[in-house]
Amino acid sequence: MRKRAILVLENGSTFRGFSFGAESEALGEVCFNTSLTGYQEILTDPSYKKQIVTLTYPMIGNYGVEPLAEQSARIQASGLIVKEYVRIPSNFASKSSLSDYMKEQNIPGLEGIDTRRLVLMLRNEGAMRGGIFPDQTDTSSLVAKVKSIPEMTGLDLAREVTTAKSYKFGDHKSGKLSIAVLDFGVKTGILRLLDQNGFNVTVFPASTRYAELKDQNFDCYFLSNGPGDPEPLDYAIDTARKIIEDGKPVFGICLGHQVLGLASGRKTYKLKFGHRGGNQPVKNLESGRVEITAQNHGFAVEEDKGTSPLALSRVNLNDQTVEGFGDPARKILSIQYHPEACPGPHDAEYLFAKFYEMVKGK
């Protein structure tokens, strides 16, 4: 028999449905993702730390879960909200149902609510704090509990998801370029593609200073994706600024892109409800082509107001926000979206090979 559960938002709205996954409560910023597939990749993406993810696709769980889809060692999202949870997966590669997977890691899910109403509310009012709770009648106390958690603005979450110590990833061979990855919440899919595109990958904690990295004489640097607000990451901004000043090649994605923006004189701001999904159209100003991209971010870099030497290279066609900037001559490449997808389209996967060629000087 299904057990009831409730979503409570900070504006006082409630959504009553049914529990799946762990029968526990979860608190976090409630956001939505429009991807049609990839719920396991979404849940294990460190960029979703302290967020409750609503999936707009109505049926979730039908292909189960399997280890190769994981983007980190565990589920990072605080909770999951869906219209309809499919209890019996049908997929030869499935090792477990989604609900059992979430139970093992004490992550609650909520199904059976009107996700269209919820998403429209988030679009109109913006992403907001919320909580999933076992069904209760006293919602006023739950609203107060939801309001007691910090807002996403001002939170340094990179320290919570980064690796505790440095490690090597992939197949290290002679002849490959050495790259230092600053882990703000890096996805496994990114590390795989760096490895496959000719880099010897070494991953470092987010707070690693440039002096330590410089002594190891890496060919280039990578600033990863991650959760939270980029502005509190003064240690990462300082490292990025010194990488740029030293003239070393650097590639930034998502949070790493925002850190590069702050290091080069731009500012960042919080989007109303963010860009999350596999269908974001981005125009490449260098080629004139449009790429359909995978994105997951709640903050963005402001347009250049004459303070940054890095030229705009890509814009979002939905809202004209900055999606990329850089300087090919100085071998700086910075992208707001996720070229590795996981999940999503592969229109932008070429960027890993492009950065390799930039570093090689071809």
Which active-site residues does the annotation give? 254, 338, 340
Closest among 43, 225, 32, 51 to 152, alpha carbons compared = 51
What is each CA distance from 1 to 4, 64, 128, 299, in whole angstroms? 10, 21, 31, 41
CA torsion angle 30 21 105 203 (round to 10): -50
**Which alpha helices (DSSP H) does the chain contain, by range?**
39-43, 98-104, 115-125, 139-147, 158-161, 188-196, 210-214, 234-245, 255-263, 350-360
Q: Give the C-alpha separation, 129 to 52, whole Å.
A: 9
> Is there a contact between 44 and 74 (Cβ–Cβ < 8 Å)?
yes
Helix (H) or strand (E) holding 271: strand 268-284
Q: Give the C-alpha separation, 144 to 177, whole Å.
A: 52
Q: Give the C-alpha separation, 125 to 257, whole Å.
A: 26
Sequence-distant (≥ 6) Cβ neighbours of residue 303 within 8 angstroms: 312, 322
What is each CA distance from 79 to 34, 66, 109, 316, in whole angstroms? 16, 19, 6, 28
Q: Give the C-alpha separation, 24 to 131, whole Å.
A: 11
Give residue for tokens 């996954």.
Answer: 21
Q: Give the C-alpha separation, 61 to 87, whole Å.
A: 7
Interstrand relation of 250-253 and 332-335 (parallel, antiparallel or unpaired): parallel
